[in-house]
């Protein structure tokens, strides 16, 4: 006789997993419960049931511009998630561009000079044969689902998902008629600016926008997959606050533009090398943005306003998903990990977009809620490459040998403990390392020859406005950090 499969039912508004026991009627007509061996060992099924579900929330281009990180942004839903989670105040991406960062996250590998380099990076092309995060969880009994922007390329490592990755189709970029027309016209021209405006505030309902569609689909899928006989790994990727800054008018109305100012460090850092400053070409694709030189003060305020409005919009969509998790009674057995794929410059150091080795491009929000973990915050240096091993540890599945990050579980359990001494990253010619007090960046040519260096003291200069690497008195500090970078290159398999 064989035990029936473990079923999942929706009971009193909650997804409850239980074992249906099989029995036989004896001669007196009484049910006799039998303990038998199933074809699939019962202990294996029990282990699957005891494993937590995972809600993996990616927010594109989101720097720690959130209320829970002390910033003047209206983000009540992410804030309430943070209030019951561990907030990582010094978390960093490994490479500040979308595709490369996500490839690093999902493979658990660090970028090198030839691996995970560009926004259009494919993990399966740059790291062929590597077992990705989604694949590893699927191999260990999880039902894995991808909605929205998770990998940069939807088909990347698609075999690691239990269902075909889903992204909304046919959603307009703009809603104002003049913006839609401009966008179509510029796209036909095929030269910069080849897109519509960098911002739009339209009187449209949330449901017309891509991220609302992603949230709606995530809620429906959550209701469905929580009935499965497997734990779920639901990855949901939201597009905003990525350019263009397009959100319903009501989210723009949350902020007074007259109160928005350009950053205090709206200047090139003293002594910064030319290699550190880029031309923010991503923004120059949009109509109304000059092809050379700075944006106007008015445009700068509109860009900052739009970025904040988009955060508030996506926060509302995330709130709906978190609410459904409550309704389904899944909170007690679901890991929630919310992260941004890299930072974003809002005029700091005269830069816009990401693509730099400054702190503001490298630092990201990371919030982790896990069963049995008390809420809090940590100043421990952490990296997005740590998420893969952390999820494995929390789920009780083995860590692949290839991982180059560290499980954050000890830090989750004791947020005040001593942690790693450095967080590493790179972008194009630059390799950068963040330590307790300093950020050091080294720019090299193709042969490894050092072209220039940056060193910022985050105790005395948290805005990174004065490069002290040019001061000979700091040569020993620069050298110490240079050795850290050299060691990291060797460990990552990068060419010296």
Residues 23 and 141 in one domain: no
Residues 23 and 75 in one domain: no
Residues 32 and 153 in one domain: no
Strands, DSSP E only, in 181-305?
A: 195-197, 199-202, 232-238, 245-248, 286-287
Boundary (domain end) residue, out of 368, 389, 419:
419
Residues 282 and 269 in one domain: yes
Of 266, 269, 270, nearest to 304 (Cα)? 266
Quote the CA–CA distance of 203 and 486 in Å, as a whole number. 53
Which pLDDT belongs to residue 220?
98
Which pLDDT belongs to residue 42?
42
Residues 333 and 445 in one domain: no
Boundary (domain end) residue, out of 376, 394, 419:
419
pLDDT in tens, 87-97: 999 999 999 99
- For residues 34 and 257, the answer to whether their CB atoms sit within 8 Å is no
Which pLDDT belongs to residue 487?
86
Boundary (domain end) residue, out of 393, 419, 445:
419
Asked if residue 91 belongs to a domain, the reply is yes
Asked if residue 425 belongs to a domain, the reply is no
Query: H or E element: which one contains 308?
Result: helix 297-327
- Residue 288, classified by CB atoms within 10 Å of its CB into exposed (0-12), middle (13-18) or buried (19+), is middle
pLDDT tens, N- to C-terminus, the chain (496 residues): 333 333 333 333 445 443 333 333 443 444 433 333 333 444 444 455 579 999 999 999 999 999 999 999 999 999 999 999 999 999 999 999 999 999 999 999 999 988 898 888 998 999 999 999 999 999 999 999 999 999 999 889 899 999 999 999 999 999 999 999 999 999 888 778 899 999 999 999 999 999 999 999 999 999 999 999 999 999 999 999 999 999 999 999 999 999 998 887 889 999 999 999 999 999 999 999 999 999 999 999 999 999 999 999 999 999 999 999 999 999 999 999 999 999 999 999 999 999 999 999 999 999 999 999 999 999 999 999 999 999 999 999 999 999 999 999 999 999 999 999 999 999 999 999 999 999 999 999 988 899 999 999 999 999 999 999 989 999 999 999 999 998 887 777 775 5
- Residues annotated as catalytic are 98, 152
Residues 456 and 373 in one domain: no
Q: How many CB atoms lie within 10 A of CB 3?
A: 18
Residue 284: C-alpha distances to residues 407, 416, 427 (Å): 39, 43, 20
- For residues 309 and 204, the answer to whether their CB atoms sit within 8 Å is no
Of 340, 337, 357, 341, nearest to 349 (Cα)? 357
* The CA-based dihedral angle spanning residues 327, 330, 335, 340, taken in that order and rounded to the nearest 10 degrees: -20
- Residue 170, classified by CB atoms within 10 Å of its CB into exposed (0-12), middle (13-18) or buried (19+), is exposed
Residues 27 and 65 in one domain: no
Asked if residue 424 belongs to a domain, the reply is no
CATH of the domain at 240: 3.40.720.10
**Residues forming beta bridges with residue 8, ordered by sequence position:** 17
Residues 363 and 312 in one domain: yes
Quote the DSSP letter at residue 416.
Answer: T
Which pLDDT belongs to residue 28?
40
Asked if residue 481 belongs to a domain, the reply is yes
Predicted TM-score of the model (pTM): 0.90
Cα 71–Cα 77–Cα 81 angle in degrees, nearest 5: 90
Residues 305 and 187 in one domain: yes
Asked if residue 279 belongs to a domain, the reply is yes
Quote the CA–CA distance of 318 and 86 in Å, as a whole number. 18
Which pLDDT belongs to residue 5?
34
Secondary structure in 3-state letters for 95-126: CCCHHHHHHHHHHCCCCCCCCCCCCCCCHHHH
Residues 37 and 166 in one domain: no
Residues 381 and 459 in one domain: no
Quote the CA–CA distance of 359 and 433 in Å, as a whole number. 10
Quote the CA–CA distance of 249 and 176 in Å, as a whole number. 12
Residues 42 and 57 in one domain: no
Which pLDDT belongs to residue 4?
35
Quote the CA–CA distance of 403 and 397 in Å, as a whole number. 14
Asked if residue 1 belongs to a domain, the reply is no
Asked if residue 90 belongs to a domain, the reply is yes
Domain count, the chain: 3
Asked if residue 2 belongs to a domain, the reply is no
Residue range of the domain that includes 405: 51-419
């Amino acid at each position: 006789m064989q035990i029936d499969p473990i079923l999942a039912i929706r009971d009193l508004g909650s997804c409850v997993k239980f074992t249906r026991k099989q029995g036989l009627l004896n001669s007196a007509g009484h049910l006799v419960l039998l303990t038998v061996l199933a074809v699939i060992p019962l202990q294996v099924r029990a282990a699957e049931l005891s494993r937590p579900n995972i809600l993996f929330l990616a927010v594109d281009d989101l720097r720690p511009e959130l209320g829970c990180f002390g910033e003047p942004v209206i983000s009540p839903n992410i804030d309430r998630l943070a209030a019951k989670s561990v907030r990582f105040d010094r978390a960093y991406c490994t490479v500040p561009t979308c595709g490369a960062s996500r490839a690093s996250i999902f493979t658990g590998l660090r970028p090198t000079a030839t691996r995970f380099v560009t926004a259009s990076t494919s993990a399966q092309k740059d790291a062929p044969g590597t077992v990705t995060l989604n694949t590893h969880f699927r191999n260990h009994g999880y039902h894995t689902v991808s909605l929205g922007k998770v990998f940069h390329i939807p088909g990347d490592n698609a075999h690691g998902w239990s269902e075909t990755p889903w992204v909304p189709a046919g959603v307009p970029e703009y809603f104002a008629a003049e913006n839609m027309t401009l966008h179509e016209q510029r796209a036909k021209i095929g030269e910069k600016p080849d897109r519509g405006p960098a911002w739009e505030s339209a009187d449209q309902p949330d449901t017309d926008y891509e991220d609302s569609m992603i949230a709606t689909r995530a809620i429906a899928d959550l209701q469905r997959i929580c009935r499965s006989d497997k734990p779920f790994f639901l990855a949901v990727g939201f597009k905003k606050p990525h350019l263009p800054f397009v959100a319903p008018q009501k989210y723009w109305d949350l902020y007074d533009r007259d109160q928005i100012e350009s950053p205090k460090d709206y200047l090139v850092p003293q002594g910064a090398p030319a290699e550190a400053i880029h031309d923010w070409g991503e923004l120059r694709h949009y109509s109304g943005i000059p092809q050379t030189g700075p944006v106007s003060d008015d445009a700068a305020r509109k860009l900052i306003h739009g970025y904040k409005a988009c955060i508030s919009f996506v926060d509302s969509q995330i709130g709906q998903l978190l609410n459904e998790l409550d309704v389904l009674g899944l909170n007690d057995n679901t890991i929630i990990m919310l992260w941004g794929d890299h930072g974003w410059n809002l005029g700091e150091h005269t830069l816009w977009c990401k693509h730099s080795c400054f702190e503001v491009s490298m630092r990201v929000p990371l919030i982790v809620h896990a069963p049995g973990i008390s809420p809090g915050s940590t100043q421990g240096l952490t990296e997005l490459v740590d998420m893969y091993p952390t999820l494995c540890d929390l789920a009780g599945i083995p860590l692949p040998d290839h991982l180059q990050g560290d499980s954050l579980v000890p830090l989750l359990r004791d947020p005040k403990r001593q942690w790693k001494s450095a967080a590493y990253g790179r972008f194009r010619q630059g390799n950068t390392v963040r330590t307790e007090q300093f950020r050091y960046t080294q720019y090299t040519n193709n042969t490894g020859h050092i072209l220039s260096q940056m060193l910022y003291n985050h105790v005395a200069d948290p805005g990174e406005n004065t490069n002290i690497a040019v001061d000979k008195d700091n040569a020993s500090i620069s050298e110490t950090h240079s050795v850290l970078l050299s060691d990291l290159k060797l460990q990552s398999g990068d060419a010296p």
